[in-house]
């Protein structure tokens, strides 16, 4: 074997060893910090319109649909969040825990703007209105399971206005969203509103756009350049003119639910 060939082999071995070492420590795509360039301001895609969109659709309950709970003359309006399924196959939706103003009281969703055609929804369950847990994660969440059972066709449509939900973001990745990242939420009062992340650390998300009474429970999501949405959080309220949201992943875990997504 010539000296030149030996030198080439040694050089190739060194390159392979270096590549192997880098591969061993490089983060996977799922674990890598998310850059704001991964997400777009969807209004530029011409898919979104503002204004109340809190009515049921022909396919049933969709994220952004408004519902009310009436108890002893007091009316509370909230928003249907992400469609979910249980380990037993039941369908339902997630919303804000503080919407459960009267335990066991049935709510209603509306099919017309006059509020005359209302469809009952089951009472909220597993509601939690705690502002924070020992883990440091805010947990303002609840779930409504469809009492029709898993054998009946789902009345809960995972479609978001102007896009489709294709996945959910881990709490870890959501906390890494840089300030300025385009982000949207759908509320029964505000409709679909898009702004930017102010902060995503601590126990909640803060947006640079306001939410309004009745938006609580609505889905918070980011959208990529192809118009596909990824769930990030649940609208929890408004503070100093900024919409606040809790992270979606810990809420799903506590509620024993999995977000329903579109599969291509």
CA within 13 Å, CB half, 102: 14
How is residue 61 written in tokens? 């309950």
Over the chain, what is the mean pLDDT?
73
Q: pLDDT value at position 152?
A: 42
pLDDT digits (tens, 9 = 90+) for 18-77: 333 322 322 222 333 445 558 887 765 445 555 445 555 555 677 888 888 887 778 888
Q: Rounded to two decimals, what is the model's pTM?
A: 0.76
pLDDT at 26: 27
pLDDT in tens, 205-222: 999 999 999 999 999 999
Phi, psi (5° rounding) for residue 95?
Answer: -150, -170
pLDDT digits (tens, 9 = 90+) for 141-178: 888 887 654 444 445 566 676 677 889 999 999 999 99
Would the pLDDT of 249 be above 50? Answer: yes
- Report the alpha-carbon distance of residue 167 to residue 151 in Å, rounded: 24
**All structural domains of the chain:** 49-259 (2.40.10.120)
Least confident of 96-100, 125-129, 253-257: 125-129
- Return the closest-CA partner of residue 233 out of 156, 124, 164, 138: 138
Which distant-in-sequence residues (6+ apart) come within 8 Å of 132 by Cβ?
138, 139, 203
């Amino acid at each position: 074997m010539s000296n030149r060939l030996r030198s080439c082999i040694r050089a190739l071995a060194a390159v392979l060893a270096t590549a192997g070492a880098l591969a061993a420590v490089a983060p996977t795509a799922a674990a890598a910090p998310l850059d704001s360039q991964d997400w777009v301001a969807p209004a530029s895609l011409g898919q979104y319109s503002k204004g109340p969109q809190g009515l049921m659709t022909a396919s049933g309950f969709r994220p952004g649909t408004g519902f009310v709970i009436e108890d002893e003359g007091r009316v509370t309006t909230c928003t249907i969040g992400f469609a979910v399924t249980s380990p037993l196959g039941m369908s339902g939706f997630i919303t804000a825990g503080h919407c459960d103003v009267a335990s066991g009281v049935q709510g209603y969703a509306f099919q017309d703007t006059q509020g005359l055609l209302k469809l009952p929804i089951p009472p909220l369950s597993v509601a939690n209105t705690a502002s924070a847990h020992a883990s440091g994660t805010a947990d303002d969440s609840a779930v409504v399971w469809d009492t029709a059972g898993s054998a009946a066709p789902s009345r809960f449509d995972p479609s978001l206005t102007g896009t489709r939900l294709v996945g959910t973001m881990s709490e870890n990745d959501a906390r890494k969203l840089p300030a300025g990242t385009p982000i949207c939420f759908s509320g029964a009062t505000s409709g679909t509103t898009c702004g930017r992340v102010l902060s995503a650390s601590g126990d909640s998300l803060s947006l640079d756009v306001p939410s309004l009474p009745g938006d609580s429970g609505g889905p918070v999501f980011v959208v990529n350049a192809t118009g596909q949405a990824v769930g990030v959080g649940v609208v929890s309220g408004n503070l100093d003119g900024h919409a606040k949201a809790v992270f979606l992943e810990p809420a799903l875990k506590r509620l024993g639910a999995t977000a329903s997504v579109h599969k291509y």
